[in-house]
């Protein structure tokens, strides 16, 4: 049986890249992971959650920079900033260290990853004919 496009993208999203990591403009980007998807949700990075999001240029830039920070900064810094609510400040500082010449390559990588992230996103929908929690099976 042939695999559908979503299945192939989902498998690719969590496969280790052949080179182990991606380097763009001096930034070493971690591989995409479930943790990455969670960080994208916490930072409201719709480019990675909704795929073809309709965003203005300023918001696209914010999301690109936020993603680059989240994927290249030390993991302890990213998780600490999310816990303490200082992620936006860390992202603003990081933006001053980003090389503008790296943006086209970074955007290409982001487009690739966002299609993988959209395939990996899981949305739970209620079973047809069920009205909610009263029909849910009991916890055992």
Over residues 86-137, the pLDDT tens digits come to 999 999 999 998 888 888 888 888 777 766 666 655 555 666 665 555 655 6
Q: How confident is the model at residue 47 (pLDDT cuts 50, 70, 90)?
A: confident
CB-based contacts of 70: which residues, under 8 Å, 6+ apart?
A: 36, 39, 40, 43, 78
Instruction: Give me the chain's average pLDDT, please.
Output: 78
| Cβ-contact 87, 81 below 8 angstroms | yes
pTM of the model: 0.68
The whole-number pLDDT of residue 19 equals 47
* Percent of all residues in the chain with a pLDDT value above 90, rounded to a whole number: 29
The whole-number pLDDT of residue 1 equals 47
């Amino acid at each position: 049986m042939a695999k559908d496009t979503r299945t192939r993208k989902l498998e690719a999203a969590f496969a280790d890249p052949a080179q182990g990591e991606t380097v763009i403009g001096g930034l070493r980007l971690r591989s995409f992971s479930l943790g990455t998807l969670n960080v994208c949700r916490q930072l409201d990075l719709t480019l990675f959650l909704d795929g073809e999001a309709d965003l203005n240029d300023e918001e696209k830039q914010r999301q690109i920079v936020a993603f680059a920070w989240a994927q290249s900064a030390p993991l302890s810094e990213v998780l600490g900033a999310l816990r303490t609510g200082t992620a936006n400040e860390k992202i603003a500082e990081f933006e001053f260290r980003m090389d503008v010449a790296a943006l086209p390559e970074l955007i290409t990588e982001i487009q690739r990853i966002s299609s993988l992230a959209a395939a990996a996103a899981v949305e739970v929908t209620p079973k047809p004919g069920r009205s909610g929690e009263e029909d849910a099976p009991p916890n055992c």
